[in-house]
Amino acid sequence: MTQTEPSRVAQQAQTGRPEWATLLRRKPRPAETVIQGLLFASGAISILTTIGIVLVLGNESLSFFTDSEVSLVEFFTGTRWQPQTGDFGVWPLVNATLMTSLIAMLVAMPLGIFAAIYLSEYASPRTKALLKPTLEILAGIPTVVFGFFALTFITPILRSLFGVDTVQIYNDASAGLVMGLMIVPLIASMSEDALSAVPRALREGAYGLGATKFEAAVQVVLPAALSGLVAAFIIGVSRAVGETMIVAIAAGATSQLTFNPFQAAETITGHIARISGGDLSYGSLDYRSLFALALTLFVITLGLNLISRWLVSRFREQYD
Amino acid sequence: MSNSTLSTTSTMTDSTRLKPLSATTAVDTERTETAIEARHLNIFYGAFKAIHDVSMAVEARKITAIIGPSGCGKSTLLRAFNRMNDFVPTARVEGEISLHGHNLYAASVDPVEVRRRVGMVFQKPNPFPKSIYENIAWAARLNGYRGDMDRLVEDSLRSAALWDEVKDKLKQSGLSLSGGQQQRLCIARTIAIRPEIILMDEPCSALDPIATIKIEELMQELKKQYTIIIVTHNMQQAARVSDRTAMMMLTEDGKRSGTLIEFDDTNVIFTRPKDKRTEDYVSGRFG
């Protein structure tokens, strides 16, 4: 038997029938190569775009900061932003951005997390199947609609509540509140995913010790889902800081350093939108100042991102 | 045998009324008191009947094992004793389970309070992602414990035969422990709330033999104070640890419901069972 085997293979080779070496030989598969290339290109495009944006921002900002009329110190310490008079202090814009974002997150985080707790811990599967898509549709409403909602609905309410003299027509509070409402579905949806990912065994452990649903949700499930909740918070803040239409419409076009949320105060994004929409001459100082502002915005989101990540790694309760 | 409790709670409305403890503790025969008792229990998942007409009286401070082939409803029955099945939206229970003569399924009964008296240890160790200390302290605080927490934590860990292994690292996460230690931590936190009954759902199935032996030894200690009901796939384990054994099997009407076919002292079940199916099962002829 063992002797006949090799001879049979040799025979096959002689008669021209396929050998193992031929059978196993690597075959060209052009479709595979093309598809792999396309998939890679899809990923590469977004990364290259990001790199391109950062490069342009850095380049234009550099040329802005090296201009004789501008000083880096003034930019980061100045409390007036009036390009017409050559005042390039970024604080009024940054302050308005942070204030509207803070108001927005104060609305969005609790509402979003409570909604998420309801969906993941209390709602029946049927209710959840109905509510979650509805919530996500809400996230698809164009922000310009939210902007007018703020200006024509929330602002009048605020003015009737706190007085016409206290609340200006354009104000950060109204813009922040509506921005918060806009972000609720995002926070709720992401937090719900995080809560639902917590193993059922942990909940059962809590229930088995006599925990109520709420005790289990808040004291066991929520801490275990912390990293997901922080991720939701990061995305939410990034949305708020970067949100443009709502603040452009409802927060006003006056750049001033104020901590009163009922006054008009232009945000970074609102300012960029207003100025770039006008007749801005290419290469002018105003033009380049927008890139410096955009870079500032980028640094803010990046900073928040890094802080949040650090917080997560520090306080995470790992369960797997 | 345990008919005294049955006679005192003839209807479901009666059983919900407060009764002196002695009503259930004074039992006629040489048998000890009944800790918890199922009567004509049927459990449904939607239209599917998972448990068919189970009646059993579980004796206090004994270990009762529930054995039977896979899918015969052992866990479903066990989870009925502390109303864990409430979390399955389609689950429905008929009949009653009485604790001190009170039907746990009466409308006036709060399932959260039931679970504080009937604790549970699960198949896979599920410590909370908190420190070893907090795993126990959290359970105790939840149940309104306001005493010396350090002491309670130490006592609970000692009772669970875990103290010597963890006393120097109480601040570490409960998840840093080995599987067997995690399971003992879960037992410790159950003990910390001082339940009357401890349900164990295959507590050793995720553990190695040495960890399993430790848990089994621990159970012998615990039964001095607690009533234990354990579901196990492992017949040797049932024979080793339990005083009483409940044999479950699917009904033969084709509906695939689980039911109790024999319930007796463990040595009877394993040496001279009355039911042929029990004999076949414990002797390894099927299952």
User: pLDDT category, B27, cuts 50, 70, 90?
Assistant: very low
Identify whether B201 is part of a domain: yes
> Could A207 and B122 be called an inter-chain contact, meaning their C-beta atoms sit closer than 8 Å?
no
- The predicted-structure confidence for B110-140, as pLDDT tens digits, reads as follows 999 999 999 999 999 999 999 999 999 999 9
Identify whether B136 is part of a domain: yes
User: pLDDT category, B48, cuts 50, 70, 90?
Assistant: very high
Please state, in angstroms and rounded to a whole number, the distance separating the CA atoms of residues B116 and A206: 11
Q: Of B113, B119, B127, which is closest to A208 when you measure between CB atoms? A: B119
Identify whether B287 is part of a domain: no
- The predicted-structure confidence for A122-161, as pLDDT tens digits, reads as follows 998 899 999 988 988 888 899 999 999 999 999 999 999 9
Identify whether B90 is part of a domain: yes
Chain B nearest C-alpha distance from A210 (Å): 5
Provide mean pLDDT across the span B137-163. Answer: 93
Identify whether B134 is part of a domain: yes
**Total residues found in chain A within this entry:** 320
Strand partners of residue B199: B120, B229
Q: Tell me the average pLDDT of chain A.
A: 88
Provide mean pLDDT across the span A223-236. Answer: 89
User: pLDDT category, A314, cuts 50, 70, 90?
Assistant: confident
Contact status, residue B275 vs residue B262, Cβ threshold 8 Å? yes
Provide mean pLDDT across the span A220-237. Answer: 90
Identify whether B16 is part of a domain: yes
Q: What is the pLDDT of residue A135?
A: 87
Q: Is B110 on the interface with A (CB under 8 A)?
A: no
Provide mean pLDDT across the span B26-54. Answer: 83
Domains recognised in chain A with CATH numbers: 4-66 (no CATH), 76-315 (1.10.3720.10)
Chain A nearest C-alpha distance from B246 (Å): 23
Helices (H), chain B: 3-8, 12-16, 22-25, 74-80, 111-117, 132-142, 149-159, 163-166, 179-192, 209-222, 235-241, 266-271, 276-282
Q: Which of B128, B131, B173, B198 to mutate to test the interface with A (most CBs of A within 10 A)?
A: B128
Provide mean pLDDT across the span B48-58. Answer: 94
What are the phi and psi torsion angles at A314 (to 5°)? -80, -40
> Could B130 and A201 be called an inter-chain contact, meaning their C-beta atoms sit closer than 8 Å?
no
Q: What is the pLDDT of residue B150?
A: 95
pLDDT exceeds cutoff 80 at A319: no
Closest residue, chain B, to A201 (C-alpha): B126
User: pLDDT category, B105, cuts 50, 70, 90?
Assistant: very high
Q: DSSP characters for B159-197?
A: HTT-HHHHTT-TTSBGGGS-HHHHHHHHHHHHHHT--SE
Greater model confidence, B277 or B4 = B277
User: pLDDT category, A292, cuts 50, 70, 90?
Assistant: very high
Identify whether B277 is part of a domain: yes
- Extract the tokens encoding A10: 């040799």
pLDDT exceeds cutoff 60 at B30: no
User: pLDDT category, A14, cuts 50, 70, 90?
Assistant: low
Provide mean pLDDT across the span B165-190. Answer: 94
Q: What is the pLDDT of residue A2?
A: 47
User: Domain range for residue B101?
Assistant: 3-282
Please state, in angstroms and rounded to a whole number, the distance separating the CA atoms of residues B83 and B36: 13
- The predicted-structure confidence for A58-107, as pLDDT tens digits, reads as follows 999 999 988 888 888 888 888 888 888 888 889 999 999 999 999 999 99
User: pLDDT category, A16, cuts 50, 70, 90?
Assistant: low
pLDDT exceeds cutoff 80 at B5: no
Q: Running DSSP on this structure, what letter comes out for residue B5? A: H
Q: How far is C-alpha A199 from the chain's CA centre?
A: 27
User: pLDDT category, A316, cuts 50, 70, 90?
Assistant: low
B91-99: strand order across its sheet: B102-103, B91-99, B34-45, B48-59, B258-265, B244-250, B63-67, B227-231, B197-201, B118-121
Closest residue, chain A, to B122 (C-alpha): A205
With beta carbons under 8 A apart, name residues in chain A contacting B130: 223, 317
Q: What is the pLDDT of residue B12?
A: 39
Computed on alpha carbons and rounded to an integer, the radius of gyration of chain B in Å comes to 19
Chain A nearest C-alpha distance from B262 (Å): 28
pLDDT exceeds cutoff 50 at B18: no
List, in order, residues 6 or more apart from A108 with CB less than 8 Å away: A179, A180, A181, A183, A184, A186, A187, A236, A240
Q: What is the pLDDT of residue B1?
A: 40
Q: What is the pLDDT of residue A1?
A: 45
Closest residue, chain B, to A224 (C-alpha): B129
Identify whether B155 is part of a domain: yes
**Helices B149-159 and B179-192 sit at what angle, rounded to 10 degrees?**
130
- The predicted-structure confidence for A166-200, as pLDDT tens digits, reads as follows 899 999 999 999 999 999 999 999 999 999 999 99
> Could A208 and B143 be called an inter-chain contact, meaning their C-beta atoms sit closer than 8 Å?
no
With beta carbons under 8 A apart, name residues in chain B contacting A199: 126
Q: What is the pLDDT of residue A85?
A: 83
- The predicted-structure confidence for B79-103, as pLDDT tens digits, reads as follows 999 999 998 889 999 999 999 889 9
A40 residue type, one letter: F
- CATH value at residue B116: 3.40.50.300
Burial tier of A246 (Cβ tally within 10 Å: 0-12, 13-18, 19+): buried
How many CB atoms lie under 10 A from the CB of residue A183? 27
Chain A nearest C-alpha distance from B78 (Å): 12
Please state, in angstroms and rounded to a whole number, the distance separating the CA atoms of residues B55 and B44: 16
Q: Of B89, B113, B190, which is closest to A209 when you measure between CB atoms? A: B190
Q: Which of A71-75, A253-257, A312-316, B229-233 has the lowest mean pLDDT?
A: A312-316
pLDDT exceeds cutoff 50 at B161: yes
Q: What is the pLDDT of residue A26?
A: 87
Q: What is the pLDDT of residue A127?
A: 92
Please state the pTM of the whole predicted model: 0.80
Please state, in angstroms and rounded to a whole number, the distance separating the CA atoms of residues B245 and B248: 10
Closest residue, chain A, to B123 (C-alpha): A201
A157 residue type, one letter: I
A214 residue type, one letter: F
What are the phi and psi torsion angles at B263 (to 5°)? -145, 115
Q: A-contacting residues of B 241-280, CB under 8 Å?
A: none
Provide the number of structural domains found in chain B: 1
Q: Of B126, B143, B173, which is closest to A201 when you measure between CB atoms? A: B126
Contact status, residue B192 vs residue B156, Cβ threshold 8 Å? yes
- The predicted-structure confidence for B204-246, as pLDDT tens digits, reads as follows 988 889 889 989 999 999 999 999 999 998 899 999 999 999 9
Q: Of B113, B116, B122, which is closest to A201 when you measure between CB atoms? A: B122
Q: Chains A, B: CB contacts under 8 A, how many?
A: 68
Q: What is the pLDDT of residue B113?
A: 93
User: pLDDT category, B25, cuts 50, 70, 90?
Assistant: very low
Q: B-contacting residues of A 216-275, CB under 8 Å?
A: 219-220, 223-224
Q: Of B115, B121, B129, which is closest to A210 when you measure between CB atoms? A: B115
Is residue B240 helix, strand or coil?
helix
User: pLDDT category, A286, cuts 50, 70, 90?
Assistant: confident
Chain B nearest C-alpha distance from A188 (Å): 23
List, in order, residues 6 or more apart from A63 with CB less than 8 Å away: A288
| B118-153: b (≥16 Cβ within 10 Å) or e | bbbbbbbbbbbbbbbbbbbbbbbbbbeeeeeeeebb
Contact status, residue A61 vs residue A76, Cβ threshold 8 Å? no
